[in-house]
Amino acid sequence: MTPPRLPAPKLIQEERRFQDLVQTLYSQPRLAVDTESNSLHAYKERVCLIQFSIPGNDFLVDPLSLPDIGQLDALFANPKIEKIFHGAEYDVMCLKRDFGFNFNNLFDTRVATRTLGRKRSGLRDVLAEEFAIQISKRYQRANWGKRPLPPALLDYARLDTHYLLPLRDHLVKALHTVGRWEEARETCEHLANVNAHENGFDPKGFWRISNTCKLTPKQIAILRELYLYRDAQARRLDRPPFKVLVDKTLLALAEASPKGLKALENMPGMTPGQIRRHGKGILAAIKRGSQAPIPRRPRHQPMDEIVRVRYETLRAWRKKVARERKVESDIILPREILFNIAQSAPHDSETLRKLMAPLDWRFKAYGQDILRVLRG
């Protein structure tokens, strides 16, 4: 069924109302939280809306309208107030990046569903399964940086947190029933320590464009100049680079190196409008690239063969355990922890325990198995 009609969410755009909200949130033992960003519509992504739900109320904090939301830091960092997200990692990374917030006492309902071995962990699917409620995702790609936000967008945003509190209770009960509460809890605690999401320009990012290995050294030099041109235009227009020129077009231009506007017509993605907007700039970039020094491909430190064998052996063990548990492999152990173990090759429990910290539940559950795999 569709969600029942709800009271309008409360949009917080004035300082006085924000101060009142902070006091209200501090009085709660747990809060549902989500964010909306404008990554599809701006050169540099930023958090444009922060949603909070408590029993009986949904709030939408507008950080673009408020002078300072720094008071939320103490709220997010407070270990006595549980913050419930669905898919917390990206939200936490973005909130750290934009506001420097710290986090404690998180509960991630997506982590809970994946720990339970459920195949569909998106919020829409989980709400349909738990509450027989269908929510729409039609505004998932909306421009959240545009003001004013229409009522339909505000209502859409509030649904991302409105049901998280009862959903949390359902999932916690299920986790306790199957003896997986501690496993899910420590994964959620681990999420509080993720690094801030990168949000800057990488001048060597052209190496990550697919199929650069097929280009000649001179074509790589041209690709670099086209990549730099695209970034300059994206910055000027305040648009994501892919909305200026897609990677496939950059690669084709570097490979063909057209010399005139007429030749651009045969390039994928080069519509008449694109040629009018960027034709001269593209040709100038191609000319610069044809005369530029050849870029040096970044050198990646090769993995030591012994480390590689250990890592692949541990991966095979993790995959086997995950298959038996009917969960995804990263639920058993995160990739970065697995790699650290392969590099360090611990011989005793104490050393392994330190490498696996703060995942103590997993150390107790799998520590001896991991040591046996390493010895074997």
CB 62 within 8 A of CB 13: yes
Q: Which residues, in sequence order, are bridge partners of residue 54? A: 57
Q: Tell how strand 57-61 and strand 47-54 pair up.
A: antiparallel
* pLDDT tens string 195-205: 998 888 999 99
Nearest residue to 87 via CA among 55, 125, 56: 125
Distance CA 39, CA 279 (A): 26
In CATH, which superfamily holds the domain spanning 10-191? Ribonuclease H-like superfamily/Ribonuclease H (3.30.420.10)
3-state secondary structure of 101: coil
* pLDDT tens string 312-329: 999 999 999 999 999 999
3-state secondary structure of 75: helix
CB 63 within 8 A of CB 47: yes
Tell me if 205-291 shares its fold with 305-375.
Answer: yes
The residue-averaged pLDDT of 354-373 equals 95
Distance CA 215, CA 297 (A): 12
Higher-scoring residue by pLDDT: 193, 376: 193
pLDDT confidence band for 287 (50 / 70 / 90): very high
Neighbours of 148 (CB within 10 A): 11
Position 279 pLDDT exceeds 70: yes
> How does DSSP assign 101-163, residue by residue?
----SEEEHHHHHHHTT-S--SHHHHHHHHH------TTTT--TTSSSPPHHHHHHHHHHHHT
Structure tokens at 144: 């959240």
Residue 2's pLDDT is: 62
Q: What percent of the chain has pLDDT over 70?
A: 99
3-state secondary structure of 145: coil
Residue 367's pLDDT is: 97
Distance CA 162, CA 55 (A): 9
How many helices and strands, by DSSP H and E, does the chain display? 17, 6
Buried b (16+ CB within 10 A) or exposed e, 84-103: bbbbbbebbbbbbbbbebeb
> Structural domain boundaries of the chain?
10-191, 205-291, 305-375
Residue 34: which H helix or E strand, with range?
strand 30-37
* pLDDT tens string 31-68: 999 999 999 999 999 999 999 999 999 999 999 999 99
Distance CA 43, CA 215 (A): 28
In CATH, which superfamily holds the domain spanning 305-375? HRDC domain (1.10.150.80)
Nearest residue to 173 via CA among 248, 247, 256, 116: 116
In CATH, which superfamily holds the domain spanning 205-291? HRDC domain (1.10.150.80)
3-state secondary structure of 346: coil
Nearest residue to 286 via CA among 254, 241, 312: 254
Dihedrals φ, ψ of 106, to 5°? -95, 150
* pLDDT tens string 262-275: 999 999 999 999 99
The residue-averaged pLDDT of 97-110 equals 97
Long-range contacts of 279-286 (CB under 8 A, 24+ apart): 281/229, 281/233, 282/226, 282/229, 282/253, 283/258, 283/259, 284/229, 285/222, 285/225, 285/226, 285/228, 285/229, 286/222, 286/225, 286/226, 286/253, 286/254, 286/257, 286/258, 286/259
CB 32 within 8 A of CB 84: yes
Tokens 């922060």 sit on residue: 50
Structure tokens at 225: 């100049």
3-state secondary structure of 268: coil
3-state secondary structure of 375: helix
Residue 291's pLDDT is: 96
